[in-house]
Structure 1
Amino acid sequence: MSLLDFTIKMTNEYIEKMPKSLRKKYGQFFTSKETAIFMAELFDIPQNKEELHILDAGAGTGILSIALIDRLQNMSYFQKIHLVCYENDSNVIELLKDNLDYVCQKAKIQITYELHTENYIISQMLEYNEMLGANANPLKYDMVIGNPPYMKIAKDAPEATAMPDVCYGAPNLYFLFASMGMFNLAPSGEMVYIIPRSWTSGTYFKKFRQKFLSEGALEHIHLFVSRDKVFEKENVLQETIIIKVRKTNHVPQKVMITTTQSNCDFSDRTTLEVPYHTVVSGKDSYVYLVTNEQEIEILEQLNSLENTLPSIGLKMKTGLTVDFRNKDLLRDTKEPRTVPLFYSQHIQDGRVSFPIEKEHEYILAEQTGLLQKNVNYLFIKRFTSKEEHRRLQCGVYLAKHYSEYTEISTQNKINFIDGLSNLSECIVYGLYVLFNSTLYDCYYRILNGSTQVNSTEINSMPVPSVDTIEAMGQVLIQARDMSETICDRILRSFIDEQNDRYQDDIERIGNATKTAS
């Protein structure tokens, strides 16, 4: 029996005895054997050291670090491995110790270990924040491997206050573990972590991304097509990825991206090499998780645009009214002093339909904070189901259709693009062309894996100039067809025209250069 097989056997016995509800309380979901082997194989093994130092924070039963030791013990490059594990869940500590003792007895090379039962984050707060001065000499590791706890904590939790440089709002433990793991790495050391993909975009993780990706470089990303297959025995629905990061200031030319359907057969995977700056892009350090050449082309096409909504005077915002918190203001029918309250259900076939005999379609105009001017908008649904064809679902709202109102309200499950009051209706339709196109829908899916459409990401997406948006809107109005197919044709014709102009400019410059020489 291999070292890993023994650990898996003991872990499965633990899982059968311990209720999932109790393990979930600690954010405790165990890595499968196949995933552990794959993660261990991602490391480039240093060949110039006699001793390796490995860190496994949030070690659980030791599956990941023991999978790595199982691989390393068959290599002749070094004589000794020193493993440091952190685990403060009293339910699993004894099992972890038993597994590590077994490894020390059975491994083909010398293995020593330290088992720390204190809080991983808090125990290093002073070193992390450089509060120990020049005398501090914390141990640095050649390899860091981990499946950190996935658990949201309060913004004033001890772990959050210990790492203020990466926290924004109420953080999740998993990215605090990743950031501390980067701190623990030696120069050129490698980290392999299995974590949710949620950190790859959005304001919430911005500080973490910027620090994490300034101290290290992504070398490998592994994606699972089926999110319900990553922790198959745990029945966890989580958008999870595996990352390999090297602690270095040198940015590689390429990132390796692999994809599998599940964690059962990593041999059946697709492989894609992507330019680093296509994957990690922009001042917000968004990470674009592409899976094929077509998606790379989509990113390159849209990223060539130089504008965003805010740069052209527009901005996507979230609807103002949380309906269940304002029940006393809601009405089913029109009354004096009420205004329309728009929900995602009012977005139908590219337009906004109202009323639709839905309950609570009106709201009393008593709280100014819930009201907005009755001007033109593009409405976009904030939430869609995983199975729906499109993530971006939008509708054109024209104020002239509701001219009896000076104000309206929007429920917070829709977004709206603001700033259109003094602009042509054609621009509203042009924005619809963009966000109802396949190209923009794919771009958003690459950027954000959740079913929620966030205004932060939309406001960061590249868009054409106002004149071009207006021109596309004019074509859509003339077409009298709001379908995705028509939007795709209009946007494609613009992109092709832009590319033709770009090629003409190159030829002009080339001819001028030849003439001058």
Structure 2
Amino acid sequence: MLLQTEFAVLENAEAVRAEADGCLPNRERFAQYLTPSSVARLMASMIVNSPKEVRFLDPGAGTGILTAATVGTLCGLSKPPVRIAVTVFEIDNHLRHYLERTLMLCDELCDDRGVEFDVDLVGGDFISFACSFLRDDLFTGFSIPQFNICMMNPPYQKLPLNSTYASELQRVGINTANMYSAFVELATRLIEPGGQLVAITPRSFCNGTYFAPFRRNLLSSTVPTNLHLFESRTRAFEENSVLQENVILSCIKRVPKASDRVTITSSDGPELRDLATNTVELGRVVDPNDQEQVIHIEVSESASGITELMRALKCSLADLGLEVSTGPVVDFRLKDHLRNHASGNTAPLLYPAHFRKGTCEWPLDGRKPNAIEVNDETRRWLWPTGNYLVTKRFSSKEERKRVVASVLPEGQIRNELLGFENHLNVFHVAGSGVREISLLNGLCAYLNSTLVDSYFRMFSGHTQVNAGDLRRLPFPTRPQLRALGESYSPSLTQEELDLIVNSVLFEGDKTMAKKSHLAVNRAKMLASALRVLKELDFPREQQNERTAYSLLALAGLTPDKRWNEAAAVPLGITPIMEFTEKHYGRKYAPNTRETFRRFSVHQMVQARLLICNPDKPERPPNSPKTIYQLESDALHLLRHFDTPSWSEQLSKYRVRVKSLRDEYERARAKTRIQVNVSETQCISLSPGGQNVLVKTILDDFVPFFTPRGHVLYVGDTDQKFAHFDESELKRLGVTIDRHGKMPDVIVHFKRKNWLVLIEAVTSHGPISPKRRKELSELFSHSTAGLVYVTAFLDRRTLTRYIREISWATEVWVAESPTHLIHFNGDRFLGPYKD
């Protein structure tokens, strides 16, 4: 039996998950989206207390990766529990074999750590069992179990109101139409006082009337300790193409206290490379005076400032005597009455496309009809002409604004009746227009402000703007709205509009006005930096806040500056992160430094936007002294952003940057590392980084351990396939997918017919159990035996990664080039059968 380490148990569990995820015949039926190991590790890290005896519940276990992450975390503590008793539910028999394999890994780890490990694997659906527990009947007299830790990734699935599940839930007092909220609510009832629940779910439960009862029940019995937001709608479960903003919620079952604080973290995707943190009072997450208990996710100090400003506004929509409703005309239900052109017996039919830049443009030539016939069947869906304000119900999350408002003044469209289509939200008074046009103009200015847009994004993860969400916004007073209305014009720029809103809302309060000015400017500068990245054609992976903040830092643009004030500020990665926290209130975890370098700054260097080490080009990119600076032509371009000359300057820059890249490559070629891959062939690798180690592997490891070995592949950070003998690999039965994750060096040791796969580790990536499985699959058709080697420059680096290294692999350290460390035991260097 191989001993498990805390790290290895999760890596091996991830390998099991990856294997199962490739074949899930019941994925759609059971809404199965298996948790990636990085997410499971983050969830397990949120465990607050470790009881001596852990009673653990995983109600939708899948392959058991959440159980593995929890057991690994608990066993890694200086004082691990005495006993871990796990109860896991899994409805899909197809997954049982994978789940049993993971539980065996957990058992091995606990046995090694002297922790008693008990398992109750229930092959059935959690809802039925939990409802039976809670009713205390039909379950052979068992008493209600009391768990002290629960981890879950529940199914993301609707729950029909006429289903058996809905009936069972109603019998225990739970009314919900969604499986994931049912799982969470049942689990909170099965957790003992002081116990902890950690769940990854869609963000949709955080706001909206639909989930209000669920939020009230959850927050009346538990206290949130951690919230993690996956800001990308596609990446938390990107392997399964899930289009949903997800959150991880950790909470303790107890009564809230005044001193309670919530740690809020966020990242773009499941790799958690760009982890940002913010700690706030519980009252900032859930307003105690809010009847709907909406959950606000303030991912930064800047977001916290927005919440403070909005809560200073005390009026509700009802206080203003106004209502907001979804447009009453559902076009597909009345399609026989729709007309492309208006006539004597029709009313104008208004769609979102009719509203642009704060005004109404009707009629339009396009795919949508412009009119609806007025008759007995349609009349009840039409409203009298008047002053109305509308917002679009749907917007892309990547659009500049989530709330887009426009005013339709009475008389602009001359007709007794108007039709508002269902994709609009309409502000009105009892189904009629608003008498005061200045009030509506002021409301339009307010809703189109950066302040409202930033606040709305904090509690709504949808691309949909519901009437209910608008209804629960705080609003200025009537006098304030009138004052805004007097100054409002659709032709105002966003900056002019925000200045007016700021001066009217916080007139006489210099402190709040200053806070508002800072919060709005932070949001606008971030949005504009994202636009720059998009217009410079950066890949979508770099069109994110981390890269935008890096650009702002390197341009020296604090929130109070404009792009024409951009400068070429030489900065290293840590100063970039410090600038972001100081000026934009976004605090990134210290371990994201490498993420900034590899996934933001590196791409800007490749695009020739930045120069790496302008003072000393031969300095390795991963040196602690490395600095970056805006290239002079890039700086000139940025100073024209948001001006009439931007498009012209951008075109010129694109022509110029190509020649700059060529010139840059010629300069870099002089500092490249020359390595011999055979007696007759020499290649060059980019300077610094792991390539210093790659050269040592080729110069020292290959001649000593694989004499006369044939080097088939060498990778480079600049060029993935720096050297590639594709025909020889094919002769050995290996066909390479160029998108596959290759090792750094591949050598064919012909004398013994071994294919030696070598990973060069300087800052990341030894051959872990997961990586070993990936490589074994990538080279599964090899007729040569596979040997796995992790190479390090020195022993100090080895000690940082030793817990991650897989068994049945080799380790080579460059400072002792004639020695090899073998991980496991019956023989030394050679291939192993899995």
Structures share a fold, TM > 0.5?
Answer: yes
Give the deviation of 1:501 after TM superposition.
11
1:476 & 1:191 partners in 2: Cα distance?
49
**What's 2:346 paired with?**
338
In structure 2, C-alpha distance between the alignment counterparts of 1:429 and 1:39, rounded to whole Å: 47
Aligned match for 1:324, one of 329, 332, 338: 332
Distance 1:156 1:204 in 2: 18
Pairwise mapping of residues 355-434 of structure 1 onto structure 2 (< 5 A)?
A: 355-358=363-366, 359-366=368-375, 367-403=378-414, 405-419=415-429, 421=433, 423-434=435-446
* In the alignment, structure 1 residue 259 sits paired with structure 2 residue 263: no
- C-alpha contact (below 8 Å) 1:166/1:211 kept by paired residues: no
Q: Relative to 1, partners in 2 of residues 1:71 and 1:414: Cα closer, same or farther, differing over 3 Å?
A: same
Gaps of 5+ in 1: 504-517
* Residues 39-438 of structure 1: pairs in structure 2 closer than 5 A: 39-46=43-50, 49-75=51-77, 76-107=79-110, 108=113, 109-128=115-134, 137-164=143-170, 165-168=173-176, 171-251=177-257, 252-265=259-272, 268-281=274-287, 282-358=290-366, 359-366=368-375, 367-403=378-414, 405-419=415-429, 421=433, 423-438=435-450
- Contact in 2 for aligned 1:217/1:250 (Cα 8 Å): yes
Instruction: Tell which deviates more after alignment, 351-360 or 311-320.
Output: 351-360
Contact 1:317 1:416 in 2 (8 A): yes
How much does 1:388 deviate?
1.0
**Contact in 1 for aligned 2:260/2:282 (Cα 8 Å):** yes
Which secondary structure state, in structure 1, belongs to the residue aligned with residue 198 of structure 2?
strand
Deviations 1:205-230 (A, max 9, x none): 00000000010011111112323221
* 1:296–1:421 CA distance, 2 compared to 1 (3 A): same
Please state how far the C-alpha of 1:295 moved relative to its aligned partner: 1.4
Distance 2:349 2:475 in 1: 29
Q: How far apart are the structure 1 equivalents of 2:510 and 2:495? A: 22
CA displacement at 1:84 relative to structure 2: 0.3
Matched, 1:29 2:33: yes
Residues 130 and 499 of structure 1: is their aligned pair in 2 closer, same or farther, counting only changes over 3 Å? Answer: farther
| Aligned counterparts of 1:310 and 1:216: Cα–Cα separation in 2 | 31
Rounded to whole Å, the distance in 1 between the matches of 2:412 and 2:336 is 27
The question of whether the paired residues in 1 share the 8 Å contact of 2:263 and 2:277 is answered with yes
| Distance change >3 Å, CA 389–CA 482, structure 1 → 2 | same
For residue 507 of structure 2, the aligned residue among 486, 497, 500 is: 497
Pick closer, same or farther for the CA change 1:421–1:12 going to 2, 3 Å: closer
Contact 1:34/1:265, CA 8 A, preserved across alignment: yes
**1:167-190: per-residue Cα shift (whole Å, max 9, x none)?**
35xx22111111111111111111
The CA distance in 2 between the partners of 1:106 and 1:370, in whole Å, is 66
Specify the code of the residue in structure 1 equivalent to 2:30: Y
AA at the equivalent of 2:27:
R
Match of 2:631 in 1: none
Q: Which stretch of structure 1 is more off in the superposition, 350-359 or 202-211?
A: 350-359
Could you tell me whether the CA contact under 8 Å between 2:476 and 2:505 is conserved in 1?
no
Deviations 1:246-284 (A, max 9, x none): 101123432110122322145x42211112111112111
Amino acid aligned to 1:38 = L
Q: What's the secondary structure of 2:159's corresponding residue?
A: coil
394 and 130 in structure 1: CA distance in 2 versus 1, 3 angstrom threshold: farther
- Mind listing any 5+ residue stretches in structure 2 that lack a counterpart? 514-834
Q: CA deviation at 1:463?
A: 0.3
Give the whole-Å Cα distance in 2 for the aligned partners of 1:392 and 1:422: 20
The 2-side partners of 1:25 and 1:127 are apart by 25
| Kept in 1: contact 2:405–2:444 (CA 8 A) | yes
- Structure 1 residue 126, shift from structure 2 partner: 4.5
Query: Whole-Å Cα distance in 2 between the matches of residues 484 and 92 of structure 1?
Result: 53
Q: Give the match for residue 508 of structure 1.
A: none
3-state SS, counterpart of residue 145 of structure 2: coil
Give the match for residue 440 of structure 1. 452
Measured against aligned partners, the alpha-carbon deviations of 1:476-502 in whole angstroms (never above 9, x if no partner) come to 15xx73443332112100233152599
Q: Identify if the C-alpha distance between structure 1 residues 140 and 374 changes in structure 2 by more than 3 Å, giving closer, same or farther.
A: same
Specify the SS of the correspondent of 1:334: coil
Distance in 2 between the 1:227 and 1:286 partners? Answer: 20
**Aligned residue in 1 for 2:491:** 481
**Structure 1 residues 237 and 396: CA distance shift in structure 2, 3 A:** same
Greater RCO, 1 or 2 (C-alpha within 8 Å, sep 6+): 1
**Which residue type is aligned with residue 60 of structure 1?**
G
Partner amino acid, structure 2, of 1:398: P
C-alpha distance 90-126 of structure 1, shift in aligned 2 (>3 A): closer
3-state DSSP of counterpart to 1:461: coil
Measure, in 1, the Cα distance between the counterparts of 2:453 and 2:383: 27
Query: What's the CA shift for 1:61?
Result: 0.6
How many Å separate the matches in 1 of 2:497 and 2:136?
Answer: 54
Match of 1:229, SS state, is: coil
Q: What is the distance in 2 between the residues matched to 1:116 and 1:126?
A: 14
- Report which stretch shifted further, 298-307 or 5-14: 5-14
- The 8 Å contact of residues 349 and 482 in structure 1, kept in 2 or not, is answered as no
Select the residue among 11, 24, 36 that pairs with 1:5.
11
How many Å apart are 1:121 and its aligned residue?
A: 1.3
Q: Distance in 2 between matches of 1:400 and 1:349?
A: 19
Kindly tell me the number of residue pairs found equivalent between the two proteins: 491
Equivalent-residue separation in structure 2 for 1:464 and 1:128 (angstroms): 47
TM-score calculated relative to the size of structure 2: 0.57
Aligned partner letter, 1:123: F
1:29-51 deviation per Cα after TM superposition (whole angstroms, max 9, x unaligned):
111111111111110233xx432
**Higher CA-based Rg:** 2
Contact kept in structure 2, 1:144 and 1:181, CA below 8 Å: yes
| 1:322 positional shift | 1.3
For 1:370 and 1:293, the matched residues in 2 are separated by: 45
**Residue 415 to residue 166, structure 1, CA distance change in 2 (3 Å):** farther
* Partner SS state of residue 497, structure 1: coil
Deviations 1:9-42 (A, max 9, x none): 22222222336xx413311011111111111111
Cα shift readout 1:293-325 (whole Å, capped 9, x = no counterpart): 121111111111111112221111101111122
After superposition, the CA RMSD in angstroms is: 2.1
Alpha-carbon distance in 2 for matches of 1:29, 1:302? 37
Identity rate, percent? 28
What's the offset of the Cα at 1:239? Answer: 0.4
Shift of 1:114: 0.6
Query: Aligned in 2, Cα 1:422/1:231: closer, same or farther, shift over 3 Å?
Result: closer
Q: CA deviation at 1:127?
A: 4.3
Residue 130 of structure 1: how far off its partner (Å)? 7.4
Name the SS for the 1:163 alignment partner.
helix
Deviation of 1:361 after TM superposition, in Å, equals 0.7
TM-score in terms of structure 1 length: 0.90
